[in-house]
Structure 1
Amino acid sequence: METAAVVLLLVILLVLFILLLRKPTVYKNDETITYLKDEKEKLTDELNDLRERFNTERSKLIQTEFLLNSQSDKLLEQQKNLADLQQKFTLEFSLVANKIFDEKTAKFTAQNQTNLESVLNPLKANIKAFEEKVDKVYKDEAAERNHLKGVIFQLMDQSKQIQ
């Protein structure tokens, strides 16, 4: 019996040993499952964070593209406005230049007219005086001729009477 008790004791020890060996495996499996669950949770959290960052960055990209398109449209509008302003200023400059030219031409013409009048008016007065003298001399000569003609006719009449 002693042997049987020793064998029984050995069998019990062997069973306990096997159970002890199995328990750590189960414990290790539980530990591995817990570790894997923790890793899965971490990876899920990291994936969610990455998705959130991706969505945030995509939203920023969409906003940036919208802003770029908006600014591009604004730039085109400003370029069009600038071209319109340049054309308007060119036209206004041309109109102002023509107006100034017309004013200067009118002023120059008036000044020339004044200068010519100041030079020609005395000459005109002299010519008028000369015309009046010529007319007077012509009238005087015509009157004298008529008088002489009358005298000649009288002399001819006297000469005829004498004859």
Structure 2
Amino acid sequence: MHLFPAAPSDLPAVADMVNSAYRGDSSRQGWTTEADYLGGQRTDAQTLAHDLAANPEAILLTLRDEAAGPLLGCAWLEPATDDAWYLGMLTVRPDLQDRKLGRTMLGAAENHAKELGANRITMTVVQIRDTLIAWYERRGYVSTGETRPFPYGDQRFGEPMRDDLNFIVLEKAI
């Protein structure tokens, strides 16, 4: 497995993979779908480029079997505090989610953050995603008890089909 920071030329493929894993019918091939409660796109190449430019310490990691091979997964990392990094957009192609690539990508992202000085990883997960929350808990993440509101009206986060969404904050010492 090869882990690389995303190049600008990777951003369209990353956006396509993320959208296919979380939204629409293609997301139903895997178990990470949000299609039952969020419509629209999850991200696009322009948003990714903007977010990377706006936060120069952030990194979008990509996972491939071979250096020049197809994109298999990705994860977003950015500093949150002096000793914690935020992990977001952990994604594996939906047709490959039975290869345990999510575990590989998560471990690689945690190790990368640790190499950059992190002692903790934080993340947010939509509170109704019980299966995903349990998956993270099995990997050592715990709820901090903090919740954050869902950004209704901000199309960058999709088109909510429910009015009761919010995020819970999970954290893990690394």
TM-score for both structures, normalised by structure 2: 0.12
Q: What TM-score, normalized to structure 1?
A: 0.13
Higher relative contact order (CA 8 A, sep 6+): 2
Higher helix share: 1
**Structure number with larger C-alpha Rg:** 1
